[in-house]
Amino acid sequence: MVARAQYVPILPGKLEAWRKFWAEWQTPEGKKIHDEARRRAGITKEVISLQQTDALGNPIGDWAVVYIDMKYDREKMKQEMYNVPSPFRDKFLAMIKEVHGLDAAPPNPFSEPIFDWSE
């Protein structure tokens, strides 16, 4: 099992569109589509969080914080997640462009694990 985290900036004025996108996948129909896409990609856990930096006294904008556990390495996960057509993938890639200003999944690598503890 591989665990990784990543921060991705949310463009100014796009926070509500970002929230709306993730809310869609919490409906029964959306959850079914999302779950299928993530299982196919080998993702076993996904946590999407919002980090609002304005509240920290350093106003550099809003950031999406992505944490995933996956069965295999990032390259195989990306192949399954971004190259296999699905209703989730198409909307996800459109959201990445609109909300984050990227033409595809964030090209930056996941953060480098420095310390990992679990019971």
Q: What is the reported pLDDT for 20?
A: 96
Please determine, for residue 55, whether its predicted confidence score (pLDDT) is greater than 80: no
Query: Quick check: helix, strand or coil at residue 82?
Result: helix
pLDDT digits (tens, 9 = 90+) for 72-86: 777 777 777 777 788
Q: What is the reported pLDDT for 98?
A: 93
Q: What is the reported pLDDT for 70?
A: 87
pTM of the model: 0.80
Please determine, for residue 40, whether its predicted confidence score (pLDDT) is greater than 70: yes
Please determine, for residue 56, whether its predicted confidence score (pLDDT) is greater than 70: no
pLDDT digits (tens, 9 = 90+) for 89-102: 888 888 889 999 88
Exposed e or buried b for every residue in 69-87, given b needs 16+ CB within 10 A? ebeeeeeebeebbeeeebe
Q: What is the reported pLDDT for 105?
A: 61
Q: What is the reported pLDDT for 65?
A: 92
- Domains annotated on the chain, with CATH: 2-100 (3.30.70)
Cβ-Cβ contacts under 8 Å for 73 (sequence gap 6 or more): 2
